Amino acid sequence: MATVEYRRQVGIAGEYDVVVCGGGPAGIMAAIAAARNGARTAIVERYAFFGGTASGGLVNPISEFNKHGKRVIGGLPWEFVTRLHAKGGAIIDFPNGNVPFDPELYKLVAQEMLLEAGVKIYLHSMITDCIKDDDNRIQQVLVATKHGLIAIGSAYFIDCTGDADLAAYAGVRMLDGGGSGSLQPASLCFILSGVDIPSLGTILPRLENTRYFNQRVHTALEELKEQGYQVPNYGGPWFCSILDPDAISVNLTRCAVNPLDRESLVEAECTLRSDMFRFIQLCKEHVSGFEHCRLLASGIQAGIRESRRIAGVHVVTGEEFLKNKHFHDTIALGAHPLDIHRAADTQQEVHFLQDCVCIPYRSLITQTHPNLLVAGRCLSADRYASASIRVQAPVMATGEAAGTAAALCVAKAVDVQQADITDLIAHLEANGAVVRT
């Protein structure tokens, strides 16, 4: 690739104690937690709203808060869904703690909670690089806005971008995720109206250790393939309520992608959008209950299940999760199965958990970067553990932990590697978070 040299001075738009990069489920919780614990906090989000894969990508439900009938994720994430419920935007009484939600109210509640906490909001702002010193301490992030490039400085940074963008810009070593063929596929989720929902059977994922793909529609699509119809690759399908009696969210499309390669993303987005309309046509013509369906909305982009993950102080493994390993520095629990979708076909590898899993603080930090934490699916985990952590409820829990830890490090002026774990756990539990099994 040819290169050009580009130099300019960039204005510093603000200086903060904590800057959170990414306004998805993890970033929302991280910023609120940091601000509520006394840190001057900013959040940088590339879209015009908060919620990311949830509210913009239409991935429904929020999964999952309970295990064996016991709450395993509380604190800020549970406060968020109860506030969403109070506005009529969530169902919060399922035994497994899955939470079907209204994506528009999700955006509103996130915005309200961030503003109430005093977080400085940078929307329409996309991080493009960072500036660090010789000790790998990040000093500013560079952010592309309508005004051009700006710099935002901070004492501590939290990467909640999903793809570990800030960590990559900062030179953090990443775990080997494999090529696009071995990564989990991307999916473009969408919302349909006009569906005869009762004819679909159970669409609400209420129970533990249950695979909720819709067998009737799956069988219909397989029969169409056998009859020679062009049926794109798919997963599930999985349906969920968006709290509208005449509409459902649909998770069906599936495409191999390298999420870190622009050309691969372009090809995948185009393929998935074409596939979405093909599936809608097939269902309208051949699957009872969909005769009058209509597309209401599709995700603002394909949902990414797997990309970069940092090589942290501790790499959480699927084996540790399946053996229910406890850690001295557990800062969050999880209950979602190890759930790996295959890009090449319609299959899915699922390992249900016997008990909740433990996520250690050491998976949020590196050995090399003194003022950087990560939260969400880019934390330090192998692909099996990540397949459990990557869903919304544990992502939110790690966000709360990272934000709280950053604020405590601000107060004591220590590097993230020197955080007082006992103090961190005490603060999390005081806010209702669950960190003990």
pLDDT of residue 257: 95
254 contacts 346 by C-beta, under 8 angstroms:
yes
- Assess whether pLDDT exceeds 60 at residue 375: yes
- Residue boundaries of the structural domains of the chain: 12-177+306-430, 190-298
Per-residue pLDDT tens for 272-321? 999 999 999 999 999 999 999 999 999 999 999 999 999 999 999 999 99
pLDDT level of residue 65 (50, 70, 90 thresholds): very high
**DSSP string covering 139-179:** EEEEEEETTEEEEEEEEEEEE-SSS-HHHHHTT--B-----
88 contacts 102 by C-beta, under 8 angstroms:
yes
pLDDT level of residue 178 (50, 70, 90 thresholds): very low
pLDDT level of residue 30 (50, 70, 90 thresholds): very high
Per-residue pLDDT tens for 244-269? 888 999 999 999 999 999 999 999 99
Share of the chain above pLDDT 70, in %: 99
Report DSSP state, residue 300: S
Q: Distance of alpha carbon 189 from its chain centroid, rounded?
A: 14
Give me the count of residues in the chain. 437
Position 426: which residue type? A
| Mean pLDDT, range 392-408, rounded to an integer | 98
The pTM of this model reads 0.97
Query: Judging by DSSP bridges, how do beta strands 12-21 and 41-44 pair with one another?
Result: parallel
List the one residue out of 120, 293, 316 whose CA is nearest residue 194. 293
Per-residue pLDDT tens for 79-121? 999 999 999 999 999 999 999 999 999 999 999 999 999 999 9
412 contacts 420 by C-beta, under 8 angstroms:
yes
Question: How far apart, in whole angstroms, are the C-alpha atoms of residue 190 and residue 199?
Answer: 19
Give whole-number Cα distances, 315 to 116, 211, 292, 321, 385, in Å: 35, 28, 49, 12, 9
As a whole number of angstroms, the longest Cα–Cα distance in the chain is 67
Question: How far apart, in whole angstroms, are the C-alpha atoms of residue 200 and residue 176?
Answer: 40
Report DSSP state, residue 24: S
337 contacts 388 by C-beta, under 8 angstroms:
yes
**DSSP string covering 320-370:** HHHTT---TTEEEEE---EEEE-SSSS-EEEE--SS-EEEEGGGG--SS-T
pLDDT of residue 211: 86
Q: Which fold has domain 12-177+306-430?
A: FAD/NAD(P)-binding domain (3.50.50)
Q: What are phi and psi of 387, to 5 degrees?
A: -65, -15
pLDDT level of residue 182 (50, 70, 90 thresholds): confident
- Assess whether pLDDT exceeds 90 at residue 181: no
pLDDT of residue 437: 85
Structure tokens at 127: 């991080």
Question: How far apart, in whole angstroms, are the C-alpha atoms of residue 292 and residue 285?
Answer: 10
Report DSSP state, residue 304: P
Question: How far apart, in whole angstroms, are the C-alpha atoms of residue 28 and residue 17?
Answer: 16
Per-residue pLDDT tens for 315-343? 999 999 999 999 999 999 999 999 999 89
Question: How far apart, in whole angstroms, are the C-alpha atoms of residue 46 and residue 144?
Answer: 9
pLDDT of residue 177: 62
pLDDT-wise least confident of 117-126, 184-193, 210-219, 355-364: 210-219
Count how many Cα atoms sit within 13 Å of the Cα of residue 336 in the half-sphere of its side chain: 26
Q: Distance of alpha carbon 277 from its chain centroid, rounded?
A: 25
- Assess whether pLDDT exceeds 70 at residue 38: yes
